[in-house]
């Protein structure tokens, strides 16, 4: 269990995707098959049943370590995690134990059926054979408290690197119903599954953020412009009577959207559509975070499906009548796509992204200025003669919202204050409405840090309140109502544009100005 403990601590330490993937690959490359299978199970939320309560463990540890209850609690106040406090409160192990993860789990599962005295004896013995980090992981496993949220795409990516099997195949294999007690690594990961071939998506054409000037893209007539709503990029596949949805991150997300099951009867076979899943209710797109909230739910309730209904907005057609048409130029695919929509009536689930007509870049730029009135977060620019995928696929963001706001709180990370909370006026009071941690140059950040140190008025944990005095311009890409926030608002990607050193406190915007931005 040494290798697994190391993996657990590495995953626990970082939230950086690439580092987590590297740690997983390193683990898989050296682990035995039964252990790999259990790691896959644990990381996808299948954990062994809890065999005893954590409070019982506490009793035993106080006895084994010879410390009174209150003293154990003092330790817990400092350490935080109960399983970790237990691991650290015990004396160092006197023996060594080389059982592997899967063997430990078997042992733990067997203990589940034993009487309490047997359990106690076995657990005390285990504690005596494991060093504190392994003890900590062991405690998590036996108390049912094991949690390690790793994005499915990271796990899939790591397994793909480890096995050399394509990521979407792995994702398909993992999406089946399986249990680590009945399956094997060989069966689950290395063996072809029945529906694999028909479910396969095409590699996505990457939509790149347009950063320079549009006129650099060349002749306007070579390009096609379309609206873009805030949603989740996906390919929708209908083959052999089945519907599959794949996210751009190579994740099979069909089970998350049962409403698209209806398309089984509404669409012909041999169709692949590119587009976005949009949270959409009563003819309005909902804020994107509501879609994220729906996706993150482990169990999809009727309630959430009613609160956050979805539609699929189609931007491209990649397969028609079982024929891959990706090599055809975009203009031709678009003609076929529009014709396809004439024959299909699935209005409540499937819609076509309209194109934006303009004569030249200047007219298009004008239309972009008001694009939010069409609920769009920006527009897409695609070359009309390009195949799929292409590098000539751009996303041109709608211009951001900008407001002036007052610095209210600062939070340090490492050696500097890096995360800032900003406020706007509501009558005579300042109401916090945005947190931002990007946008300042290094020198400005340093300068701001020295200012903060001299103007702290209060401390709450890692957060410092500062004297309301500095004004900043804040940009953001979207604004929505939110009951969970003090201001009643939540912003999309707030960031600092500039430190407005000449602006007076009173020149900051008012809450009413922000509310007026919401459609």
Partner 1 sequence: MDLLTFTDKGLYCEAAGIYIDPKKPVDYALITHGHADHSRWGHKRYLCAQLAKPVIKHRLGPIKIQSVPYGERVTINGVHFSFHPAGHIVGSAQIRVEYKGEVWVASGDYKTTSDGISTPFEPVKCHTFITESTFGLPVFKWKSQDQVFEEINAWWAANKAAGKTSILCGYSLGKAQLLLAHVNPEIGKIYAHAAVENVNKVIRKQGIPIPECTRITPQVKKSELPGSLIIAPPSAVNSSWVKPFGEVSIGMASGWMAMRNNHYKRMADKGFTLSDHADWEGLNQAVEQSEATRVIVTHGYTAAYSQWLREKGYEAEGINLH
Please, what is the minimum distance in Å from the beta carbon of residue 75 to partner 1?
4
In terms of Cα–Cα distance, which of 28, 44, 333, 264 is closest to 159? 28
Q: Count the helix, strand and coil residues of the chain and give each as a percent rounded to the nearest 5.
A: 40, 25, 35
Residue 74 touching partner 1 (CB under 8 A): yes
Residue 85 touching partner 1 (CB under 8 A): yes
Nearer to partner 1, 65 or 224 (CB): 65
Residue 384 touching partner 1 (CB under 8 A): no
CB 150 within 8 A of CB 13: no
H-assigned helices in 254-408? 263-266, 288-296, 302-307, 330-343, 361-369
Residue 124 touching partner 1 (CB under 8 A): no
Residue 78 touching partner 1 (CB under 8 A): yes
Please, what is the minimum distance in Å from the beta carbon of residue 87 to partner 1?
9
Residue 65 touching partner 1 (CB under 8 A): yes
Residue 18 touching partner 1 (CB under 8 A): no
Please, what is the minimum distance in Å from the beta carbon of residue 71 to partner 1?
6
Nearer to partner 1, 22 or 153 (CB): 22
Q: Which sign does the torsion angle of CA 297, 302, 305, 307 carry?
A: negative
- Only one of the segments 73-81, 310-318, 357-365, 425-433 lies at the binding site for partner 1 (rule: CB under 8 A); that segment is 73-81
CB 12 within 8 A of CB 20: no
Each residue 390-429 as x (binds partner 1 by CB under 8 A) or -, in order, gives -----------------------xxxx-------------
- Only one of the segments 88-96, 228-236, 419-427, 490-498 lies at the binding site for partner 1 (rule: CB under 8 A); that segment is 88-96
For 70-95, letters b (16+ CB in 10 Å) and e give eebeeebeebeebbbbbbbbbeebee
In the 8-state DSSP scheme, what is residue 188?
A: I
Nearer to partner 1, 459 or 484 (CB): 459
Nearer to partner 1, 373 or 443 (CB): 443
Each residue 162-191 as x (binds partner 1 by CB under 8 A) or -, in order, gives ------------------------------
Enumerate residues 211-240 that contact partner 1 by CB under 8 A: none
Please, what is the minimum distance in Å from the beta carbon of residue 74 to partner 1?
4
What does the alpha-carbon distance between residue 41 and residue 182 come to, in Å, rounded to a whole number?
A: 12
Nearer to partner 1, 151 or 416 (CB): 416
Residue 75 touching partner 1 (CB under 8 A): yes
Nearer to partner 1, 68 or 212 (CB): 68
Inter-axis angle of helices 116-127 and 132-142, nearest 10: 160
- Only one of the segments 51-59, 72-80, 263-271, 378-386 lies at the binding site for partner 1 (rule: CB under 8 A); that segment is 72-80
What does the alpha-carbon distance between residue 271 and residue 254 come to, in Å, rounded to a whole number?
A: 16
For the range 337-343, what are the long-range contacts, defined as Cβ-Cβ under 8 Å and sequence gap of 24 or more? 340/271, 341/314
Backbone angles phi, psi at 88, to 5 degrees: -85, -25
Please, what is the minimum distance in Å from the beta carbon of residue 78 to partner 1?
6
Residue 70 touching partner 1 (CB under 8 A): yes
Enumerate residues 91-110 that contact partner 1 by CB under 8 A: 91-92
Please, what is the minimum distance in Å from the beta carbon of residue 8 to partner 1?
10
Nearer to partner 1, 136 or 340 (CB): 136
What does the alpha-carbon distance between residue 341 and residue 263 come to, in Å, rounded to a whole number?
A: 13
Residue 453 touching partner 1 (CB under 8 A): no
Residue 59 touching partner 1 (CB under 8 A): no
Residue pointed to by tokens 């500039």:
498
CB 491 within 8 A of CB 288: no
Segment (H or E) for 311: strand 310-320
- Only one of the segments 83-91, 101-109, 484-492, 503-511 lies at the binding site for partner 1 (rule: CB under 8 A); that segment is 83-91
Q: Say how many residues make up the chain.
A: 519
CA angle centred on 292, ends 161 and 299, rounded to 5°: 85
HEC string of 483-498?
A: CCCCCCEEEECCEEEE
HEC string of 13-30?
A: HCCCHHHHHHHHHHHHHH
- Only one of the segments 49-57, 69-77, 193-201, 210-218 lies at the binding site for partner 1 (rule: CB under 8 A); that segment is 69-77
* CB-side neighbour CA atoms (13 Å) of 244: 26
Nearer to partner 1, 146 or 204 (CB): 146
- Only one of the segments 80-88, 96-104, 111-119, 469-477 lies at the binding site for partner 1 (rule: CB under 8 A); that segment is 80-88
Among 3, 67, 293, 463, binds partner 1 (CB under 8 A): 67
Burial of 145 (0-12, 13-18, 19+ CB in 10 A): middle
In terms of Cα–Cα distance, which of 202, 193, 146 is closest to 174? 193
Among 21, 35, 84, 393, binds partner 1 (CB under 8 A): 84
CB neighbour list of residue 326: distance below 8 Å, 6 or more residues apart: 202, 318, 319, 387, 388, 389
Each residue 426-445 as x (binds partner 1 by CB under 8 A) or -, in order, gives ----------------x---
Number of residues that bind partner 1 (CB under 8 A): 27
Residues found near partner 1 in the complex (CB under 8 A): 9, 12-13, 65, 67-68, 70-72, 74-75, 78-81, 84-85, 88-89, 91-92, 132, 413-416, 442
């Amino acid at each position: 269990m040494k290798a697994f403990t190391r993996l657990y601590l590495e995953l626990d330490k970082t939230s950086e995707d690439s580092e987590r993937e590297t740690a997983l690959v390193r683990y898989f490359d050296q682990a035995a098959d039964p252990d790999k299978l259990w790691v896959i199970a644990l990381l996808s939320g299948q954990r062994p049943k809890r065999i005893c309560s954590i409070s019982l463990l506490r009793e035993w540890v106080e006895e084994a370590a010879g410390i009174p209850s209150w003293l154990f609690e003092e330790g817990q106040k400092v350490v935080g995690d109960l399983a970790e406090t237990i691991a650290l409160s015990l004396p160092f192990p006197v023996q060594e134990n080389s059982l592997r993860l899967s063997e430990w789990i078997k042992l733990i599962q067997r203990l589940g059926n034993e009487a309490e005295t047997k359990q106690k004896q076995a657990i005390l013995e285990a504690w005596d054979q494991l060093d504190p980090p392994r003890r900590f992981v062991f405690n998590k496993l036996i108390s049912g408290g094991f949690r390690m949220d790793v994005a499915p795409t990271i796990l899939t990516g790591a397994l793909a690197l480890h096995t050399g099997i394509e990521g979407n195949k792995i994702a398909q294999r993992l999406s089946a119903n399986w249990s680590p007690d009945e399956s094997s690594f060989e069966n689950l990961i290395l063996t072809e599954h029945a529906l694999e071939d028909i479910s396969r998506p095409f590699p996505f054409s990457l939509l790149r953020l347009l950063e320079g000037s549009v006129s650099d893209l060349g002749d306007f007539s070579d390009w096609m412009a379309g609206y873009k709503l805030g949603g989740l990029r996906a390919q929708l596949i209908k083959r052999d009577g089945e519907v599959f949805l794949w996210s751009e991150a190579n994740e099979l997300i069909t089970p998350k959207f049962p409403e698209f099951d209806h398309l089984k009867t509404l669409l012909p076979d041999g169709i692949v559509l590119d587009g976005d899943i949009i949270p959409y209710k009563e003819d309005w797109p909902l804020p994107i975070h509501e879609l994220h909230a729906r996706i993150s739910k482990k169990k999809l309730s009727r309630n959430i499906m009613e609160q956050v209904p979805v539609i699929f907005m189609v931007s491209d057609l990649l397969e028609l009548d079982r024929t891959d048409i990706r090599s055809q130029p975009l203009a031709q695919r678009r003609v076929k796509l529009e014709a396809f929509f004439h024959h299909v009536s699935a209005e409540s689930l499937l819609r076509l992204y309209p194109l934006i007509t303009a004569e030249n870049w200047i007219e298009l730029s004008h239309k972009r200025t008001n694009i939010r009135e069409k609920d769009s977060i920006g527009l897409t620019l695609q070359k009309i003669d390009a195949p799929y995928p292409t590098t000539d696929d751009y996303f041109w963001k709608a211009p951001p919202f900008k407001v002036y706001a007052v610095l209210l709180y600062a939070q340090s990370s490492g050696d500097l204050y890096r995360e800032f909370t900003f406020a706007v006026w509501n009558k005579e009071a300042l109401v916090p409405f945005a947190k931002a941690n990007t946008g300042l140059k290094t020198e400005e950040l340093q300068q701001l840090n020295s200012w903060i140190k001299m103007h702290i008025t209060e401390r709450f944990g890692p957060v410092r309140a500062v004297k309301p005095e500095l004004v900043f311009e804040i940009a953001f890409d979207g604004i929505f109502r939110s009951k969970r926030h003090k201001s009643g608002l939540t912003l999309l990607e707030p960031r600092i544009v500039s430190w407005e050193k000449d602006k007076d406190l009173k020149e900051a915007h008012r809450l009413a100005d922000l509310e007026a931005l919401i459609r």
